[in-house]
Amino acid sequence: MKKVLILHTGGTISMVQQAAGVTVTDRHPLSETLDVLPDDIEVKVEEIFNLPSPHIRPQEMLQLKRRITGAQEEGFDGVVITHGTDTLEETAYFLDLTLSKKLAVVITGAMRSSNEIGADGLYNYVQSIITAADDESKNQGVLVVMNDEIHAARFVTKTHTTSVDTFRTPTFGPIGILSKQKVIFIKEVVEHHVFDINKVAGNIQLVKAYAGMDEFIFNLIAEQSVDGVIIEALGAGNLPPQTLPGIKKILDKKIPIALVSRCSNGIAQDIYDYPGGGVQLSKLGISFVRGLSGQKARLRMLVGINAGLSGQELAKFMIG
């Protein structure tokens, strides 16, 4: 018998459609649907909090991490977290950075509330429990299961505002699929260092680059109490040259800056050697993060700082 802990956190999967819009309910719509599970899976259900996912902060992510660490000591084989989709990928990645691989951790959600036509919550929920109970899932890091696909937390992202197949992994693709109730892994997960942090202090700012951008926002950041900056840069990793004076002010204050591409596919690289080009940005001391989105790079820096990393250690960690 496999034991799976269910942690409900809120989100569309826990909501119902009403005349005024999709809203939170007092009773979780999935609370009485576990009779459809295979007989060899036993579940325990807890509602750790009930929040729309835009309300979830690193503090709630840390709360989940602590509960899952406790579940490891309680003999569970896996954990399933139901979560709103807007920030699901961020919670998944935070947990991936901070949890050891002692048990399977799966995060899922829904794009349609429980009483809408074509509601996807129950199906994703059941498939996630089956995945969490599978022995092979324990060695894969944190997983996101939606729409019969299994994605690694590190690279998965929400790509569509309303479609049920919104969660995809640009460039790399899913690491597994579900066929009925069978879990099939088709790729190996890239190994990475895990930090068992116990706090999430720090002010990390995320800035998106655009054509004609100047130093204005960077000058403002340099005047504040900031612990780090993530820039979603143009193309492979370039910025308008007018941004450089403000960026240098931040770096002069020993505030770390890491850079990702604002493109949804590919990785940031220091290729171009012109004012604002990646080669010059790298020489200034900006770290180029490989394959992460801006929001995930921000969490990576937050975890690194709370793990006590700084200087070259933090820069190396950010590269990935």
Q: pLDDT per residue over 12-53, tens digit each?
A: 887 765 555 556 566 666 765 667 788 899 999 999 999 999
Measured in Å, how far apart are the chain's first and last C-alpha atoms? 38
Euclidean distance between CA atoms 91 and 67, whole angstroms = 14
pLDDT higher for 115 or 159? 159
Catalytic residue among 12, 85, 98, 131: 12
Lowest-pLDDT choice from 103-107, 111-115, 236-240? 111-115
- Integer CA distances (angstroms), 14 to 9, 57, 319, in order: 8, 19, 37
Q: What confidence score (pLDDT) does residue 189 get? A: 82
Q: CA angle, corner 132, sides to 127 and 138, nearest 5?
A: 140
**Residue 171 is a catalytic residue:** no
Question: What's the pTM?
Answer: 0.92
Predicted local confidence at residue 320, as pLDDT: 80
> Looking only at Cα atoms, what is the longest distance across the chain?
63
Average pLDDT score, the chain: 93
CA–CA separation, 74 vs 95, rounded Å?
18
The pLDDT score that the predictor gives to residue 144 is 98
Distances (CA, A) of 219 to 78, 232, 244, 246, 262: 46, 17, 10, 5, 21
Q: Is the pLDDT of residue 68 over 60?
A: yes
pLDDT for res 274:
97
Q: Does 122 score more than 80 pLDDT?
A: yes
Q: Is 236 helix (H, G, I), strand (E, B) or coil?
A: coil
pLDDT above 70 covers a percentage of the chain that reads 94
Query: Which two three-digit tokens encode residue 217?
Result: 């926002």
Domains and CATH numbers, the chain: 2-185 (3.40.50.1170), 204-319 (3.40.50.40)
Predicted confidence at residue 190, as pLDDT, reads 78
Question: pLDDT band at residue 62, thresholds of 50, 70 and 90?
Answer: very high
Extract the tokens encoding 133: 């109970």
Task: Name the burial class of residue 1, with classes exposed (0-12), middle (13-18) and buried (19+) by CB atoms within 10 angstroms of its CB.
Answer: exposed
pLDDT, one tens digit per residue, over 172-194 is: 899 999 998 899 999 888 778 89
Across the beta sheet with 2-8, what order do the strands follow? Answer: 41-47, 2-8, 78-82, 104-108, 142-146, 149-152, 176-179, 182-185
Nearest of 69, 67, 50 to residue 9 by alpha carbon? 50
- Indicate the range of 41-50, 189-198, 235-244, 292-301 predicted with least confidence: 189-198
Which class for 6: exposed (0-12), middle (13-18), buried (19 or more C-beta within 10 A)?
buried
Amino acid 181: pLDDT: 84
